[in-house]
Amino acid sequence: MQEAVYNIQNGTTASGTDWWALISTVIATAAAAFGLYKAFQEYKRQGEEQKRQGREKRAQQFLDIRKSFRESKSFQNILLHLYTDRDFTSVPLNERIEFMGLFEDMAYLVNSDLMRREVAFYMFGGDAIAAWNNDSFWSQKLRDDKNWSLITDFVKEAEAYKAGEIRGELKQL
């Protein structure tokens, strides 16, 4: 049996194993693994932070739209006319178009996945449906205009949501 004789001067055994190289390789591997683990943790943290910031941004957009919708005097006047069966002859056409433009913006946000469909339908769908289906609000010619296709689709989906054909959770914006 051959005994391993350690040579102190060059750090090897009689069989030629370089212990210092082996120890430094193990240490370097452990340091690389630890660094990789920390990098993964930071990547995960940044991803969660970006998700949180995205949710905050969408919530702020939603609140801004809702605020402008609820505080606009012309929109309040239109809502009053919609829900009290009043004639719209006293409401200027440009105000009605601006009102429907808000729903067009909502449809754009929904189609761009910047707002959840269920939230948009829950908060704005009823008013969009009421305005879209009100013959006093629209002239048929204006309602049939192809430029309103985005709103047409939004209203159809809102009607399906209202009828219970579309289900979703309202837990998150």
Tell the residue number behind the tokens 């949710």, with chain if given: 55
Q: Is the model's pLDDT at 173 over the cut of 50?
A: no
Nearest to 64 by CA among 138, 115, 98: 115
Integer angstrom CA distances of residue 90 from 75, 79, 87, 101 = 13, 13, 7, 19
Taking only the tens place, the pLDDT of each residue in 81-125 is 999 878 888 888 889 989 998 899 889 888 988 888 888 898 899
Taking only the tens place, the pLDDT of each residue in 119-153 is 889 889 999 999 998 888 887 677 778 888 899 99
Q: Spell out the domain ranges in the chain.
A: 1-50, 72-162
* Residues 151 and 107: beta-carbon distance below 8 Å: yes
Report which of residues 164 and 16 the model is more confident about: 164
